[in-house]
Amino acid sequence: MLLKTILLPLGFVLSTAVSAFAGEGTIDTGDTAWVTMSTALVMMMTPAGLAMFYGGMSRYKNLLNTIAMTLVAYCLASIVWVAWGYSLAFGETSNLFIGNLNHLFLNGIDIHSVSGTIPTLLFVLFQMTFACICIAIILGSVVDRIKFSSWIVFAVLWVTFVYAPVCNWAWGGGWMHKIGALDFAGGNVVHINAGISGLVLALYLGKRHGYGKEPMIPSSVAFTALGAGLLWFGWFGFNAGSALAANGIAASAFLVTNTAAAMGGLSWLSVEWKHSKKPTLLGLASGAIAGLVGITPAAGFVSLSGALAIGALSGIIGFFGVAVLKRKMGYDDSLDAFGIHGLCGIWGALATGLFANPSVTEGAAGLVYGNPKQVWIQFLSIIGTITFSALATLIVIFITSLLTNGLRVDREDELAGLDNALHGERAFEIE
């Protein structure tokens, strides 16, 4: 049985094509080629870009463990998605909170199924890469101290019971879709969802031994910078690919994505330079990622001026979250998943309500273009995501803890380093 096409409200149908379901249609080879390339770009972001970005920021004794948990998250989410995650997120139903199980193991979807102008199987794959990177982002809050076995169980449960519902709300015809919330490529679905969940998991696990008392030096800032470059490259597929077509909206999303990333890097660098008197490579790379996070929900809706504003403030907000808020509040968000993805994702979702430009996507207008109501709608979507992500993640944590006899590694293993203690390997051989 083919899925029916579900369109978003008339005013912004084209710009939010990412939420289209499978249905009757004609495959366009240009659109298919572009989305195929975009899928490959987003796939690269997790086991290559994020693995290097996070691995470089982790301590040397945990570098390999960080990369391993990023890679296993990609593997797990890939299987969960094609088995039941896609059906829960995009299965057609009148339910505004979750899909159905009609497409378990992609039942009813074959090479003849079409979503808009691309094969449904390609749409499934493109959406799968979003689920994969979303669970991997959470890892940044808890590296150095979560058991590998617990991470595996948590990842499976979280993609099923946290990611899939929020994806359905925004892109699968759920309540966010119904109220007209704008989320082009994952402000709520990916970044707020992962950032809040990471913070909850970090608070539950507690601080790393020695946190705040001894230096926790990144193993390789060079790795992190290279990872940031790969993420930036892959983000063009993430955002521009979310048009699900090779069209003007995809081109605009490509442009504003690069612009916001550049502005984010420069604004973070400027604030850091003034604050600490040193312009660091880590800060520049983090700022670029902050800008990319901020522009994600807005990519298909804003013009160049909006991208400049979103990127500039994303860098400042990210720096504040990492250098000020975390220290004042005292929580241990290891690699700043909440500080960058959570906070900048919130800003980006709100900024979409401010800067959405109807000249980019007809009918999608924000406060600056005469539609103050959109800010309120964006606010409601943010509150809904934060509340659900926090509570649902807490439940997943409790279930995982019961199934794996606690989430945290032994003190001895944590102090010795997880690369050798858990994997019996080292990232580099040192003579």
**The CATH number of the domain where 144 resides is what?**
1.10.3430.10
Distance between CA 375 and CA 111 in Å, rounded?
40
Q: Which of 198, 204, 135 is nearest to 408 (CA)?
A: 204
Number of domains in the chain: 1
pTM of the model: 0.93
Residue 361 lies in a domain: yes
Q: Is residue 21 assigned to a domain?
A: yes
Position 415 in a domain: yes
CA distance 342 to 389: 11
Residue 211 counted as domain residue: yes
29 belongs to a structural domain: yes
Residue 320, domain member (yes or no) = yes
Would you state the pLDDT for residue 94? 87
In three-state secondary structure terms, 226 is helix
Cα–Cα distance measured from residue 342 to residue 191, given in angstroms and rounded to the nearest whole number: 6
Between CA 70 and CA 62 the distance in angstroms is 12
- Domain assignment present for 59: yes
Nearest Cα neighbor of 93 from 23, 6, 9, 179 is 6
Looking at residue 69, what is its pLDDT? 98
Domain that holds residue 321: 10-423
Residue count of the chain: 431
Residues whose CB is less than 8 angstroms from the CB of residue 382 and which lie 6 or more positions away in sequence, other chains included: 188, 192, 346, 349, 350
| Bridge partners (DSSP) listed for residue 115 | 118
Would you write out the chain's pLDDT as a tens digit for each of its 431 residues? 333 333 333 333 333 433 334 445 799 999 999 999 999 999 999 999 999 999 999 999 999 999 999 999 999 999 999 999 999 999 998 889 999 999 999 999 999 999 999 999 999 999 999 999 999 999 999 999 999 999 999 999 999 999 999 999 999 999 999 999 999 999 999 999 999 999 999 999 999 999 989 999 999 999 999 999 999 999 999 999 999 999 999 999 999 999 999 999 999 999 999 999 999 999 999 999 999 999 999 999 999 999 999 999 999 999 999 999 999 999 999 999 999 999 999 999 999 999 999 999 999 999 999 999 999 999 999 999 999 999 999 999 999 999 999 999 999 999 999 999 999 998 877 64
In a domain, 311, yes or no: yes
CA distance 159 to 244: 23
